[in-house]
Amino acid sequence: MEQVLQEPMLHWALRTFLAVMFTAAAVSKLTGLEEFYGVVRNFRVLPDALSRAVAMVLPVVELAVAAGLLITPLAAPAALSAAGLLVVFGLAIAINVLRGRTQIDCGCFRNGMKQRISWAMVGRNVVLTAMALSAAALLPLARPAGAMDLAAGMMAGTVLFLLYFSASMLARLPARQTTTASLKGR
């Protein structure tokens, strides 16, 4: 187990996954700032005057966190910052689910990818927070990464993000109901 914890490829996979996730989220928000401002306002956890500032600053902070995750001396503080952001996002979602406001969009990724909030999304943020905390905690244990470790870890992290994003897209698809009438028509 100790060897696994020291595996630099694992560390780079975690860091890359989080970096790609925060980059994709930031870029999608930056390309639709006005729409994202509406999402932040719709959460109703901040005063209106603060919502616009948060909508403008948050994507820049997400990009800074993503960059920090990929720069080894900054990786631990960036991972802790990522965990902090994920906790705040999870709390904002949980507050609205408790209020019964599950029809609102989470604002995680823009560009037409609307996701309703739910307890499952809060759980997802808990898992992502654990990943970010693991990246920070395990970083001092890692052996130095060679070129192959770095390349394999970055590819693995990117593939993990693509799987995560694909699962999010599939979850948005409407459930297809199969009835006996539709089965007879086949």
144 torsion bin: left (phi>0), alpha (psi -120 to 50), beta (else): beta
Instruction: Give me the sign of the Cα torsion angle 71, 75, 79, 80.
Output: negative
pLDDT at 66 over 90: yes
pLDDT at 2 over 80: no
pLDDT at 161: 92
Stretch 119-139: mean pLDDT, rounded?
93
Helix (H) or strand (E) holding 91: helix 72-98
Q: What percent of the chain has pLDDT over 70?
A: 87
Residues 6+ apart with CB under 8 A from 116: 102, 103, 104, 105, 106
- Give the Cα separation of 154 and 51 in Å (integer): 34
Nearest residue to 29 (alpha-carbon basis) of 108, 141, 103, 102? 108
pLDDT at 1: 63
Return the minimum-mean-pLDDT range out of 32-46, 87-101, 143-157. Answer: 143-157
pLDDT at 144: 82
Two tokens, residue 5? 């914890």
Place of tokens 């654990």: 130
pLDDT at 174: 63
- Give the Cα separation of 116 and 174 in Å (integer): 12
Number of domains in the chain: 1
- Give the Cα separation of 133 and 127 in Å (integer): 10
pLDDT at 176 over 60: no
pLDDT tens for 73-128 read: 999 999 999 999 999 999 999 999 999 999 988 888 755 567 789 999 999 999 99
Instruction: State which residues form the domain around 74.
Output: 2-184
pLDDT at 140 over 90: no
pLDDT at 143 over 80: no
pLDDT at 110: 59
Count other Cβ atoms within 10 Å, centred on residue 114.
Answer: 14
Nearest residue to 62 (alpha-carbon basis) of 98, 99, 20? 20
